[in-house]
Structure 1
């Protein structure tokens, strides 16, 4: 019976030993040959115990190739695998880019290892690992790396220099990242060799770092030409973008001098009526050299002044009602607005998102009409000149991004660029709102500022750490240069616009009329040509004041006239405007900004630091770590 119990216990004991079996590194040895030109030829021999847990097909070795030196400069070192062996025979391997270097996967993905000991040997070369200082040169080298997920029973390294000499200074560090413990022994083993070995095992995430320094002249120091070449190699993506940004600025500057400079302003003569045959919307279109929703707003209000429509304002909910009139003198653009709003038998329309299709079509027809009648005759946008610059920007940024060292950095660069651009877009929205007059504009500014603050707070709270990590490996000048190029397209799109000679003459007349709209009543006393201010004049020119962003000044003139008894004190708003709620005060600015906002929303469908002093484990070149796969 006892025998049978023992036999039954054997599988359980076997299972227990299997569970207790541990994967670890029995030994890690590195032969480091320092070549005369400063390159390193490194052969790492790693003996591991595999149990089919983490080490199933083989091991992987991480090797950092991107560093930031004490001056904050990014440094990219060379790394090339020459051979990989397992138990003395060539072994399959493949490389994968990491955010700060390379990962070497050793083993066949289709072959699983049996439990046991395996000896892996990796031979590679690397460049730019030596530190060249005023009085000595140095190898500050992380032999094992501090990223291993296994303990290391014994770690050692042998450094071989190209020539023998007498003064060979050695030290080293062991333990986790940043440790200054020195649980190791080291000695000079020959005229040109030094040997280092740990005196106790290394735990997980612990490593061996060595420091060997020698007199200058043993190894050739990089020439100035070589250092310049390295600089351009390190910063190639950023230099491509910065160079592209400078070239783009020069291109646009030349274009601006040739095409974007305005004709000289003529003599501004005050006008007491708008230039003949120009509607409020057309004057705004020419003045801004482009279309916006306020062109549409001023057109609707001018239609109301002419008796073609009435406007109902139910506490900001607008309805435009068609009036039965005949023989109206409408500008071509206003006729398009009228037909666009009241086609298909409609006699009224609410300015809300339920009618966004109708509104967007009416706006489109109005815009096309103004472009056909006034663009090129009165101004040129020169927008065609932007296409070569935009194409060049795409090519430059794509080339720079393709030169980044890894797919991970490419994705981080795109991510960071987008999250940097979003607050800039929000700031632009805040600025546009700030330029609006009246209560609606102030409300929009407040809303945009709140959204901007909330977004930036969430951005800092959630992505601050990734951004800091990203800044360690990714070229921030690339982001800045790319954003600068995008910003240049926006600004030069505005600056390349230029009035023609006919446009300049019209702009001079508009300036003369604006002088009348905004000049104080007391200043008009000396102007004998100024007409008597009446309610009729106020209402007739109100759409022009709105189109030219002078509705506040024009209404202030009305209020002064009321205060001086020049017009009826009982007057509050035009007969074509019907409001519910307390919206009589400052009705023109409230109407303009509120209606403008309503139209806008309703037209859219829903080797540089020394380790001899102040060094630590994990410092210097080399490093990384590894694991099983």
Structure 2
């Protein structure tokens, strides 16, 4: 039988055992909690850096000015966030002033780069801990006055610029009661004179909020001081100057063209089966177009080949033109052809050239110079003084237009959209109108009009007359003119030289050369890429550029 003392002892032993069991249980729970918390702690020390919070307060003060306050908490790891962050400043609230910033309550210097602000410390931030930046600035004219009598304030949440991970953000609008009741933005919560919208960022995972849209606050424009309002202005001096400039330039160009540049009416054009009087193939094209291009040179080469002055072949493999000089009296050649021959051969008997060859360029220049000396002034005039005046007036208008657009685009308070539109139109007129009329000012003389009438008659003969041509001599004689006037295909298709038994040796040889050339290259225009220095390869380059408008520095 157990005595009283034995019961007390046994009860004490049981109590000690219970206390020990509870202690062991508490220690075990603590270990479990610690183990569960360890990944989070380790993740906090070694995980990705992020913006912990980005809170913006928009304080609308009496009169309508806007005070902006950003409170930015960052958690750097020294990779993307080393000294701080940067982001683009808002554009919808007008000019910004009175910038200041602090880090942990201590002032820091701000940097600006092409519309962005850099909020950063001078030295790298300590990693694996939070740092608070505060940025303040002011917008004196944040409101846009609308025709309905209301004023609109737009705000793009800055946090949406960041590609960095972020946790929380808030936009708060504090409203001055003296301005009357505003029309608050959609969403958010209103508490008296304060509107608040909170956002959960990507670090909340599936609970993150969708991208926030632009915030718009509206109020009666009459409640806002005029200095806080922006609106479209009316700048009549610039409007009148640009309008008069455009009309004046176009009026001068058109009047001058009607006075000196209009081509005379050629009258009824009759088909003509002979070359224009006194004009070589290259000269016929020069007079018709009142200018020079690569086809003038090609037509002169074909004319030299038809006259047996050169042997002409194309090396397809190497994309080169081969020329061999033949003995031929110089009297059979036109002045332009003689000048071209002299520049091509320079005392040699055989030459080769490819795209952009210096010798071909010199020969082309010699032909162009000789054609100009022969026919400019005699068959057409360029009206150089009218051209010069047109270019000078165009440059003046272009300069005025650039100044007007720059002045209006830099006016963030009262820009005039009509001045900007007129400025763009004036710049286009000043640039393109003189260039268009530069060509239109060229006009044929009386002799030139007659020559152009003959050229037009020959083109009609090439293109409109469908009667077959069987005379090989006639076909060969007009072939260089067909090349010069871009009628080679039509002229070639009309030739039906089946009976060539009576041909002289020269005509037969040239005809055989042309048929072989046609078989290989289809038409003589194949020479033009070599003359022009062009290549058959087309290249395309694409470039892409991108990047975040906000991030760490």
Give the TM-score category using the shorter length. Answer: 0.5 to 0.7
SS of the residue corresponding to residue 146 of structure 1 reads: helix
Q: Rate the CA distance shift 1:480–1:25 in 2: closer, same or farther, 3 A.
A: farther
* Alpha-carbon distance between aligned partners in 2 of 1:314 and 1:578, rounded to the nearest angstrom: 20
Q: Deviations over 1:370-392 (max 9, x none)?
A: 11221133223346436426645
* Alpha-carbon distance between aligned partners in 1 of 2:312 and 2:523, rounded to the nearest angstrom: 10
* Alpha-carbon distance between aligned partners in 1 of 2:470 and 2:216, rounded to the nearest angstrom: 90
Which one of 525, 544, 553 corresponds to residue 481 of structure 2? 544
Which one of 100, 103, 108 corresponds to residue 116 of structure 2? 103
Preserved contact between residue 360 and residue 603 of structure 1 (Cα < 8 Å):
no
Give the structure 2 partner of residue 510 of structure 1: 455
Mark the runs of 5 or more structure 1 residues left unpaired by the alignment. 1-12, 66-75, 174-183, 407-474, 524-531, 605-623
* Alpha-carbon distance between aligned partners in 2 of 1:201 and 1:541, rounded to the nearest angstrom: 83
What's the Cα RMSD here?
Answer: 5.1
* Alpha-carbon distance between aligned partners in 1 of 2:291 and 2:535, rounded to the nearest angstrom: 18
Give the structure 1 partner of residue 439 of structure 2: 494
Bigger mean CA offset, 269-278 vs 576-585: 576-585
Preserved contact between residue 30 and residue 156 of structure 1 (Cα < 8 Å):
yes
The two structures have a TM-score, normalised by structure 1, of: 0.60
Which one of 209, 223, 245 corresponds to residue 218 of structure 1? 223
Q: Rate the CA distance shift 1:195–1:522 in 2: closer, same or farther, 3 A.
A: closer
* Alpha-carbon distance between aligned partners in 2 of 1:317 and 1:308, rounded to the nearest angstrom: 19
* Alpha-carbon distance between aligned partners in 2 of 1:581 and 1:305, rounded to the nearest angstrom: 9
1:17-28 aligned at under 5 Å gives the runs: 18-19=45-46, 24-26=51-53, 28=55
Mapped pair 1:594 → 2:526: yes
1:172-321 aligned at under 5 Å gives the runs: 172-173=186-187, 185-188=189-192, 193-196=193-196, 198=198, 202-203=201-202, 217-219=222-224, 227-229=231-233, 249=250, 252-265=253-266, 268=269, 273-312=274-313, 319-321=322-324
**How many angstroms does 1:293 deviate by?**
1.9
Preserved contact between residue 69 and residue 135 of structure 2 (Cα < 8 Å):
yes
Preserved contact between residue 314 and residue 579 of structure 1 (Cα < 8 Å):
no
Preserved contact between residue 143 and residue 230 of structure 2 (Cα < 8 Å):
no
* Alpha-carbon distance between aligned partners in 1 of 2:150 and 2:391, rounded to the nearest angstrom: 55
SS of the residue corresponding to residue 349 of structure 1 reads: strand
Q: Rate the CA distance shift 1:601–1:59 in 2: closer, same or farther, 3 A.
A: closer
Which one of 170, 187, 193 corresponds to residue 155 of structure 1? 170
**How many angstroms does 1:255 deviate by?**
4.0
**How many angstroms does 1:92 deviate by?**
1.8
**How many angstroms does 1:540 deviate by?**
2.5
* Alpha-carbon distance between aligned partners in 2 of 1:492 and 1:307, rounded to the nearest angstrom: 41
Preserved contact between residue 146 and residue 625 of structure 1 (Cα < 8 Å):
no
Q: Deviations over 1:160-194 (max 9, x none)?
A: 236264x5554554xxxxxxxxxx54311xxxx22
Mapped pair 1:367 → 2:312: no
* Alpha-carbon distance between aligned partners in 2 of 1:194 and 1:602, rounded to the nearest angstrom: 69
Preserved contact between residue 286 and residue 379 of structure 1 (Cα < 8 Å):
yes
Q: Deviations over 1:430-467 (max 9, x none)?
A: xxxxxxxxxxxxxxxxxxxxxxxxxxxxxxxxxxxxxx
1:42-121 aligned at under 5 Å gives the runs: 42-49=67-74, 51=76, 53=78, 54-65=80-91, 77-86=93-102, 90-97=107-114, 102-107=115-120, 110-114=122-126, 117-121=131-135
* Alpha-carbon distance between aligned partners in 1 of 2:308 and 2:535, rounded to the nearest angstrom: 24
The two structures have a TM-score, normalised by structure 2, of: 0.67
Q: Rate the CA distance shift 1:343–1:505 in 2: closer, same or farther, 3 A.
A: same
How many residues align structurally? 477
Mark the runs of 5 or more structure 2 residues left unpaired by the alignment. 1-39, 204-209, 411-419, 537-547
